[in-house]
Structures are given as C-alpha cells and as structure tokens.
Amino acid sequence: MKATVEISVNGRPVRVDHGSTVAAALLAAGETAFRISESGEARAPLCGMGTCYECRVTIDGVEQRRACLVSVRPGMRVVAGPERR
C-alpha cells in the first residue's frame, strides 16, 4: 500500500501520495487556480520543472513558492488561487 500524506489546500484537507510535489497535490485535489494573474485569469503549472513560475502558491505562510519544486509534508498548509492575497 502506498503511504499517503495529508495537507490542507485553502483550508480543505487533501490526502496525496507521499513524495508528491505540492503542484501534483493541488492538481490531484482538482485545483485549477494556483494563482490569479495580473489580468485576473486563473493559472496553473505549465512547465512542471521550475522555469515558468505559473505554479506559485503560499506554503506554510511563505508566499511565491514554486509548487512544482516542493514536496508535500504532513500538515503543510497551502493557499492557492483567489484565496491568496
């Protein structure tokens, strides 16, 4: 059986495979708005490898982190999309 980890995404509990990135966890949770763009569009990852910065979210209070370059940890709090200031 695969080990899983529980994190919170905009206050909602989400259980994902251990070893997932935050980006994968948000996609698994059905999140399509990682961030809201300058003109108000919902944006989600494009490159998956740290180049495009479209997957920026707030992780444990630290803003502007690339979700594709961070692994999930139990209890991690992720804020994405319109919930982000």
Partner 1 sequence: MTRATCEVLVVGGGPAGIAAASRAAELGARTLLVDEGLALGGQIWRASHVGHRAGAARRWVGRLARSGAAVRSSTSVIDIDSARDRFRVVGDAQGDVISIDTATIVLATGARELFLPFPGWTLPNVFGVGGGQALMKSGMPVRGKRVVVAGTGPLVLAVAASFASHGARVQAMAEQAPRARVARFAARLWRTPLRAGQAMALRARIATTRYLTGTWVTRAQGSSRVESVTLTDGRSSRAIECDILCTAFGLLPNVELPRLAGCAVGAGSVLVDDRQATSVDGIYCAGEPTGIGGVELSLVEGEIAGTTAAGASASPRLLAARARLRRDAEVLTSTFAPRPELLHLANDDTIACRCEDVRLGELDRAWTFRQAKLYTRIGMGPCQGRICASALECLWGWPREGPRPPIQPARVAALLAAADENPVT
Query: Does 25 help bind partner 1 (rule: CB under 8 A)?
Result: yes
- Pick from 29, 36, 24: which is nearest to 69 by CA? 24
Residue 37 interacts with partner 1 (CB under 8 A)?
yes
10 is a contact residue toward partner 1 (CB under 8 A): no
Cβ at position 64, least distance to partner 1 in Å? 7
Is residue 47 close enough to count as binding partner 1 by CB under 8 A?
yes
**Count, residues near partner 1 per rule CB under 8 A:** 39
* Per-residue H/E/C for 46-82: CCCCCCCCCCEEEECCEEEEEHHHCECCCCCEEECHH
2 binds partner 1 (CB under 8 A): yes
